[in-house]
Amino acid sequence: MGHPAFVEWFKMSYAVKEIFYTLQGEGAQAGRAAVFCRFAGCNLWPGSEASRSTATCRFCDTDFVGVGGPGGGNFDSAEDLATAIEQKWPADSARQGSGERDSRQPSLSLGKRFVVCTGGEPLLQLDANLIAALHRRDFEIAVETNGTVAAPEGVDWLTVSPKAGTKLVQLNGDELKLIYPQPGGESRAESEPGLDPANFELLCFRHFFLQPMDGPNRAANTELALRYCLAHPKWRLSLQTHKILGIP
């Protein structure tokens, strides 16, 4: 298993639900143009409604099952997937007109290429080969993870969103984004105490965000998050602006 050739063969396929170009809607990078690569699969919920009530994470609002979304599929290599991601980034019209295309020298008018690897749980699949392939295409790589899997080297922006009932393995990064309020305990009943933001404040992150839990209680949850941020200025409020704007 340790032989490099075997490792390269063993880890060469990626299951991706969808790839799309939009604006990042959450956290410190909100409003920034990005290609989203949503990996299929998660280690906290299989993704079916039938299994939600017994899953570790029960409030996920994302469809990450299968590979049938826009731009999704099974990719046989890191190069194949990195190319598919690159194709979603806007082409430089000036270079198109001249017949030139050099991904190593992106146009200043297009800004820094930015890809958000999300899921599901992207760290079940994101590996050194894909990171290298994306960096060769001049992408800044962001990852949105639940923190139960250690992040590989080379990630440029790491967002960790802890979930109740799990062991947090990734204890540092760029931003910690806590869905709030979040029921705690083994049964995670709504009436039980949730994850306390104070328990995460000593971790090594540059930014700390509270994001109101979506769903039927979103208005009340937003008020709770707002009040907490006002009372604890270390925390900033993160809203799902893509939902407000009606974009992916």
Catalytic residue of the set 42, 139, 140, 205: 42
Buried b (16+ CB within 10 A) or exposed e, 124-142: bbbbebbbebbeebebbbb
Q: Residue 96 forms beta bridges with which residues?
A: none
117 noted as active-site residue: no
Catalytic residue of the set 18, 86, 121, 144: 144
Catalytic residue of the set 6, 8, 62, 192: 62
60 noted as active-site residue: yes
Residue 114 near residue 33 (C-beta atoms within 8 A): yes
3 noted as active-site residue: no
**Distance (Å, whole) CA 95 – CA 237:** 40
229 noted as active-site residue: no
Spacing of C-alpha 55 from chain mean position:
20
Catalytic residue of the set 37, 57, 117, 229: 57
Catalytic residue of the set 8, 61, 100, 192: 61
144 noted as active-site residue: yes
How large is the C-alpha radius of gyration of the chain?
19
135 noted as active-site residue: no
**Catalytic site positions:** 36, 42, 57, 60-62, 144, 242
